[in-house]
Structure 1
Amino acid sequence: MGLWRHSLHHPQPGTAPLTTALLIALGLGAGSTFSAFAQTPANVDGARISAADSEPGNWMSTGRTYDEQRFSPLKQINDANVGKLGLAWSYKLDIDRGVEATPIVVDGVMYTTGPFSIVYALDARDGTLLWKYDPKSDRSRAGEACCDAVNRGVAVWNGKVYVGVLDGRLEAIDAKTGQRVWSVDTRSDPSRSITITGAPRIVKGRVIIGNGGAEYGVRGYITAYDAETGKQDWRFFTVPGDPKLPPENKAMAIAAKTWFGDKFVEQGGGGTVWDSMSYDPKLNLLYIGVGNASSWNPRLRSEGKGDNLFLSSIVAINPDTGEYVWHYQTTPGDAWDFTATAHIMLADLVIDGKPRQVLMQSPKNGFFYVIDRATGELLSAKNIVPINWATGVDMQTGRPMVDEKAAVYWTDPERKAKLVQPAFWGAHDWQPMSYNPATGLVYIPAHIMSALYQDVDGHPRKKFKSMYQLQVNTGMMPEDPEGLRKLADTWTGKLIAWDPLKQEARWEVPYSTIFNGGTLSTAGNLLFEGTADGRVVAYSADKGKLLWEQPANTGVMAGPVTYEVNGEQYVTFMAGWGGAFSTFAGALSLKAGVKPNAQVLTYKIGGTAKLPDLKYKYADHKVDPPPFTGTIAQVDQGRALFNGHCDTCHGINAISGGVLPDLRMLSKENHQMFLGIVYGARVPDGMPSFAEELTPEQVELIHQYVIKRSHDLLGTMQTATRP
């Protein structure tokens, strides 16, 4: 196997295709899954996805089926024998940052991604690497991605594998050889920080992908490309462009009436479609979830007026033409980062005695929505966790009843901070939920969190890179350990088994922190999930009883999958701590008690493989700062600069969550090179250059703040060891 693994790690254009003879020579030929793989790998089309239940051993699209229910009919592994699950195999990914992908499994081959959009094709039986494709994402732009260098997976179609690359490319890869077939730049405006972290979907021969970057001043859109050639077919913008120009189409004419002034043009508007989609083949409707605004502050974005369509909306689109059909806005005039990009799933339910074709979503704002997917009519909405920004949803208008005293910060003449629940990572973020038709329950990885929001003066930056364009003072955290501990105790998670008909919880499992993994439900009466504190678990789907648990040696955020090869069922977790929580809010994420360790973990009944030991790359970092020479005023300036430019990766107030280096533990050599590092010396490692944004004097202010925080940490440690 050594030749197979090594020689195909980095296939280059011109590499010969894998031949049947080679596969047989390696023991993977006649009579095995790979004899079929060598001839027609990733042989998937719309008919096959639509009929996915007829071959439940495969997982051919992100949600397994077009309706995105993430339910598997497989039941070889069930509530009676799940306790016998053991590790079948594991595979170590190249880069230890956030892992958020849902693997695709077709005919015994697993296609998945790791950080920086690297694609892996693995033998689904034993984890043997078949090929690896590195798109060479521009790592200097990692700071322009709000939420780590993550990727949520690939799509497959007609012998090709499709991946959205962090730096904005969409690429097609030959599923047999791992060679690139075509590549397109999806960016509508290369001067803006447009990224991709979501998984593509393929509908009727079109690869459909959205983009990220609302926090950095991007105008949102979603685009369809020809799956064979990469030629752009259509593009749907989600927010209007320059009001001085005619609207591009019917949708933008509708949206333009809900925006005021022209500040949003420079700001970009936001509304990026960075994650969820689903598709109904019978209605021929594509459903997309639209994100938050740029900026968050309605006063500085749209004169404090208007619904600002299609921010925080579910939009139905004709996938043939990209034309608007209907929309439902979950949070009109969104001011809190209450994106509607969370998982969208379709189901047929009997409501009030009548069969209804419904769409279900549990977005950040805390409500669970049941919507008629043919018309967009709201059927019901209830909050899944305690919230204070709204008192409910008006079923006559479909609009949330906003509690102005609790949540409206942008009209306060004194500009006082208001504590809003849920806050910017919402009651439910991108981690996918699942629906089990047998139990009738939706399984939601939920957050309970709050944060202060405060109106601020100022204008958006003209250079929309490497800095959030929020124009809201939020994410405020104390620097002292006791204050952080108290705040961390208020940020908890839970797994909720939600009844969409009664709009109530059937059962719940509490977790100590947020950002627990997505869920998978099966016909074996099982609910699988990974946890932020480093476990993989299985519960009974009907009652929520814990039936199985094993360590993962890292936090698990992604949604698991299950599949079958040669009559044997497997369950796979993509494991690896990272993402927005552990970078931006590093101090609070430490409560999870895990380190980054990107890996694929696959289990089967009777598996006996050993979980590899964790090798943490920053384990030898020590606190050894140079003398602090700054003043209190300089520290205050340095703190503001750090939290404006550096906290996205290294944590608010210079407390890292462990995914990226904790700057309080810089070596003497790095302290000496501080200006050079900030100005681009570590670009190949993913540290962007701030040479165009920060003067040497500002860099020194940041440096003094980092030194001060190092001494703070050293003082805490010394105090803790005194008798």
Structure 2
Amino acid sequence: MPDASILRSTRLARVSLTGLLLGASLSLGASAASGPAVNAARIEAADSEPQNWLTHGRTYSEQRFSPLDSVNDGNVARLGLDWYFDLPDPRGIEATPIVVDGVMYVTGAWSKIFALDASNGKLLWSYDPQVPPQWAVNLCCDVVNRGVAVWEGKIYAGTLDGRLLALDATDGSLVWEVQTTPKDRPYSITGAPRIVKGKVMIGNGGAELGVRGYVSAYDADDGEMAWRFYTVPGDPSRPLENTALKQALPTWKGGKWWEVGGGGTVWDSMAYDPELDILYIGVGNGSPWNRAIRSPGGGDNLYLSSIVALKPDTGEYVWHYQTTPGESWDYTATQHMILAELEIGGKARKVIMQAPKNGFFYVLDRSTGELLSADPYTRVTWASKIDLATGRPVENPEARYESTGQPALVWPHALGGHNWHPMSFSPLTGLVYVPAQEIPLLYSADEQFSYQRKGWNTGIEMARAGMPDDQAVREQMGQLVKGHVSAWDPVAGKERWRIQHSNIWNGGLLSTAGNLLFQGNAEAEFAAYRADTGEELWSAPTQTGVVAAPISYAVDGVQYVAVAAGWGGAFPLSAGETASRSKGVVSSPRVLVYRLDGGAELPAMVAPVVKAPDQREFQYEKSLVERGHALYMSSCHMCHGDRAVSASVIPDLRFMSAETREQFLPIVLGGLRHQKGMVGFADSLDMEQAMAIYNYLEKRAEDAAEGRD
């Protein structure tokens, strides 16, 4: 067994903050006391128990449609908050709660897990996996987690440092854990596991930093690894790990991609068809992004940016479809995948649907991978269309910045026309609801690229990709950044209507049999719309931006609508001023649960502390500012924000205290504050480079003090 799957079976009891509250757990009845007996039969028959939300997308098909209709378009105006549960860490919240037999299981930041009474929010138990704070340097996009899986009395979750946990559902005690990733590479887990035929499927992230992607299957009972499927070839001088890599290897041409990793992480979406017995995985971007570095001879670079079909028993390859051949823009195909049956061309087809980052909405035959349609669901300039005869994009040659040697302003941005935020499909309206985005990025090749073992390895010039200093140009660029919900007709291949938002990074979606569509947004609102027309029917303030997707469930015949709320993730961390214009930038992480005539109220908001620039003399070397900007954007902006403007709880470095300025080198190079997640960068930055960054930050502090922001 390889090092990455060393099993550590224990019965440790690192559980509730309040002594497990086991009595409360037992009061829920025999089913809760003995643990939820979720299995394949229950998930496959999920529509027969609509009161539960048994798996990440409610069903294996991942449609995120609730058959409940007690809350509907005729009475949703009466919806009110019933209860809320405060999550402990003010960071991004991306989890989909799971509800089984009256118990809700949800994750917060830092991979913490909570079990709540789904009728009133009372804490039953909690579990802190104690992720080392310094591991945050190995994350692309905040200390987030998208949820758990439930199976035969156990709760399963991944951790930021690459572990897979199995907990006893009744009290949260640890049953087993396994390290799924090597600890000497910057891997992470933020996605929710899926369980198929007694095997826990889990992927990982880290392609921006430099890893090789794979998905693994573990025995749900004891954590033994059953199989592993690598998505990209490794060192070609070594044996291939699976036969599917034989057709992948010739599509990687030249270079030493394996030294950086190659990418292809399976960091989010999966789906399963029990009838076909096929597991579908979404594969991520290249590492580095710039294909000319990882594969200078060109090539499609399989299986980057692909939907791959596997046999769940063995991990055996069945088919693949690549959405972005030779990807060079961070156009992952890890976005939400939905299974459905549609009538296309007068014929019933079993399809898989996806709106990946690249801006096209794909409908494939899920038995064979045959492309049925592909149409743009948002603004796209990197390609004019997808050729249905070949399945390949008709590219705009100018978008290939790595080939032309010239910068290219390209839609969509690396954040995607659609990111991880889940879609929803309503079989009643026949529409897929896509949380879409419009945002461009200026791509240009980093001619000085060298692999860094700490930090991002994209192969593009981050300084040129950020917002310019000219305020008028920034305002003009900012107007191009918009979000919307696209009500997409997958049969006609076009948008029927849309809900316009003022910014991107709005929440995932839920549709229901009550002709309702629910979504939280970046403006700190949770809203309900008519699913057939998009008319807004109800909204409520959330006191924080909402990025996760809602669910609906019932207890004792009462229907609830729930969402885990908390501003954070890639956009708030990295986008600076563009993200800060959203009203939901304050992080007040909570689980919010609503029902008809609910009468609860959120506590009064604590006014955010607005830091004022120091009234002091700013000292910096003008000659170092430009270099410091480039180094800041390549090493720091992913957490501290574009142009050093923070739109999250991460410190805004324009407002460093006198103590922080005094300790700048020990912090940045020596890791003085590693216990807060700020590790030292002495292995990737020298003193002169660190001081260049300091000089840039001093200049930005002066800009803020003098109103030039």
TM value normalised by structure 2: 0.95
Alignment of 1:501-540 (within 5 A): 501-540=491-530
- With 34-43 and 562-571 compared, the bigger mean Cα shift is at 34-43
Q: Identify if the C-alpha distance between structure 1 residues 12 and 321 changes in structure 2 by more than 3 Å, giving closer, same or farther.
A: closer
The corresponding residue for 2:352 is 359
Alignment of 1:90-169 (within 5 A): 90-169=84-163
Q: Does residue 410 in structure 1 map to residue 439 in structure 2?
A: no
Task: Name the SS of the counterpart of 1:539 in structure 2.
Answer: strand
Q: Identify if the C-alpha distance between structure 1 residues 206 and 624 changes in structure 2 by more than 3 Å, giving closer, same or farther.
A: same
Task: Name the SS of the counterpart of 1:161 in structure 2.
Answer: strand
CA distance in 1, matches of 2:632, 2:682: 15
Q: Does residue 197 in structure 1 map to residue 186 in structure 2?
A: no
The corresponding residue for 2:551 is 561
The corresponding residue for 1:696 is 687
CA distance in 2, matches of 1:38, 1:243: 51
CA distance in 2, matches of 1:249, 1:21: 47
On the 8 A contact 1:300/1:471 being kept in 2, the answer is no
On the 8 A contact 1:247/1:256 being kept in 2, the answer is no
The corresponding residue for 1:648 is 638
On the 8 A contact 1:240/1:255 being kept in 2, the answer is yes
Q: Does residue 677 in structure 1 map to residue 675 in structure 2?
A: no
Q: Which of 198, 205, 209 is the matching residue for 1:216?
A: 209
The corresponding residue for 1:318 is 311
CA distance in 2, matches of 1:625, 1:177: 53
The corresponding residue for 1:468 is 457
Deviations for 1:382-418, whole angstroms, at most 9, x for unmatched residues? 111121111111111100111113x111121xx2211
Amino acid aligned to 2:675: P
Alignment of 1:168-187 (within 5 A): 168-187=162-181
The corresponding residue for 1:54 is 48
Shift of 1:458: 2.7
Shift of 1:482: 3.5
Q: Identify if the C-alpha distance between structure 1 residues 14 and 642 changes in structure 2 by more than 3 Å, giving closer, same or farther.
A: closer
The corresponding residue for 2:255 is 262
CA distance in 2, matches of 1:127, 1:457: 54
Q: Which of 219, 237, 253 is the matching residue for 2:230?
A: 237
On the 8 A contact 1:458/1:471 being kept in 2, the answer is no
Aligned residues: 695
Alignment of 1:543-562 (within 5 A): 543-562=533-552
The corresponding residue for 1:663 is 653
Shift of 1:480: 4.0
CA distance in 2, matches of 1:234, 1:228: 15
CA distance in 1, matches of 2:350, 2:14: 48
Q: Which of 379, 383, 390 is the matching residue for 1:386?
A: 379
Identity %: 51
Amino acid aligned to 2:160: L
Alignment of 1:699-710 (within 5 A): 699-710=690-701
CA distance in 1, matches of 2:81, 2:450: 50
On the 8 A contact 2:14/2:174 being kept in 1, the answer is no
Task: Name the SS of the counterpart of 2:477 in structure 1.
Answer: helix
Amino acid aligned to 1:619: V
On the 8 A contact 2:576/2:643 being kept in 1, the answer is no
- With 588-597 and 395-404 compared, the bigger mean Cα shift is at 588-597
Q: Identify if the C-alpha distance between structure 1 residues 179 and 352 changes in structure 2 by more than 3 Å, giving closer, same or farther.
A: same
Deviations for 1:350-378, whole angstroms, at most 9, x for unmatched residues? 11111111000010111111100000000
CA distance in 2, matches of 1:380, 1:689: 49
CA-based RMSD: 1.9
Task: Name the SS of the counterpart of 2:444 in structure 1.
Answer: strand
Note the residue ranges of structure 2 that are not aligned, 5 or more in a row.
1-10
- With 463-472 and 293-302 compared, the bigger mean Cα shift is at 463-472
Shift of 1:29: 5.5
On the 8 A contact 1:519/1:528 being kept in 2, the answer is yes
CA distance in 2, matches of 1:373, 1:658: 40
Note the residue ranges of structure 1 that are not aligned, 5 or more in a row.
1-10
Q: Does residue 64 in structure 1 map to residue 54 in structure 2?
A: no
Q: Does residue 306 in structure 1 map to residue 295 in structure 2?
A: no
Alignment of 1:242-253 (within 5 A): 242-253=235-246
CA distance in 1, matches of 2:127, 2:428: 39
The corresponding residue for 1:614 is 605
Shift of 1:469: 3.3
On the 8 A contact 2:15/2:172 being kept in 1, the answer is no
Q: Identify if the C-alpha distance between structure 1 residues 680 and 625 changes in structure 2 by more than 3 Å, giving closer, same or farther.
A: farther
Q: Does residue 598 in structure 1 map to residue 589 in structure 2?
A: yes
Shift of 1:693: 2.4
Alignment of 1:11-26 (within 5 A): 13=13, 23=23
Task: Name the SS of the counterpart of 1:443 in structure 2.
Answer: strand
On the 8 A contact 1:364/1:425 being kept in 2, the answer is yes
Q: Does residue 86 in structure 1 map to residue 80 in structure 2?
A: yes
Task: Name the SS of the counterpart of 1:257 in structure 2.
Answer: helix
Deviations for 1:501-542, whole angstroms, at most 9, x for unmatched residues? 001111101100111100000000000000111100000001
CA distance in 2, matches of 1:379, 1:625: 62
CA distance in 2, matches of 1:514, 1:20: 39
Q: Identify if the C-alpha distance between structure 1 residues 22 and 669 changes in structure 2 by more than 3 Å, giving closer, same or farther.
A: closer
Task: Name the SS of the counterpart of 2:647 in structure 1.
Answer: coil
Shift of 1:12: 6.2
Q: Identify if the C-alpha distance between structure 1 residues 557 and 579 changes in structure 2 by more than 3 Å, giving closer, same or farther.
A: same
Q: Does residue 572 in structure 1 map to residue 562 in structure 2?
A: yes
Task: Name the SS of the counterpart of 1:78 in structure 2.
Answer: coil
- With 590-599 and 625-634 compared, the bigger mean Cα shift is at 625-634
Deviations for 1:77-136, whole angstroms, at most 9, x for unmatched residues? 000000000000111111111110000000111000111111011111111111110101
Task: Name the SS of the counterpart of 1:215 in structure 2.
Answer: coil
Shift of 1:166: 0.5
- With 347-356 and 55-64 compared, the bigger mean Cα shift is at 347-356
CA distance in 2, matches of 1:278, 1:625: 56
Shift of 1:14: 8.2
CA distance in 2, matches of 1:613, 1:335: 46
Q: Which of 427, 441, 448 is the matching residue for 1:458?
A: 448
Shift of 1:629: 2.7
Q: Identify if the C-alpha distance between structure 1 residues 83 and 488 changes in structure 2 by more than 3 Å, giving closer, same or farther.
A: same
Deviations for 1:680-702, whole angstroms, at most 9, x for unmatched residues? 22222222222322223322222
CA distance in 2, matches of 1:12, 1:623: 48
TM value normalised by structure 1: 0.93
CA distance in 1, matches of 2:382, 2:455: 30
Deviations for 1:222-252, whole angstroms, at most 9, x for unmatched residues? 0001111111110000000111223222111
Deviations for 1:149-199, whole angstroms, at most 9, x for unmatched residues? 111001111111111101111111111111111111111x32210001100
- With 586-595 and 146-155 compared, the bigger mean Cα shift is at 586-595
On the 8 A contact 2:15/2:128 being kept in 1, the answer is no
Q: Identify if the C-alpha distance between structure 1 residues 479 and 567 changes in structure 2 by more than 3 Å, giving closer, same or farther.
A: same
Amino acid aligned to 2:347: K
Q: Identify if the C-alpha distance between structure 1 residues 584 and 20 changes in structure 2 by more than 3 Å, giving closer, same or farther.
A: closer
On the 8 A contact 1:625/1:707 being kept in 2, the answer is no
The corresponding residue for 2:8 is none
CA distance in 1, matches of 2:21, 2:74: 43
CA distance in 2, matches of 1:642, 1:233: 43
Shift of 1:626: 5.2
Q: Which of 255, 278, 286 is the matching residue for 1:293?
A: 286
CA distance in 2, matches of 1:20, 1:598: 22
On the 8 A contact 2:15/2:127 being kept in 1, the answer is no
Shift of 1:39: 2.4
Q: Identify if the C-alpha distance between structure 1 residues 625 and 282 changes in structure 2 by more than 3 Å, giving closer, same or farther.
A: farther
Amino acid aligned to 1:470: G
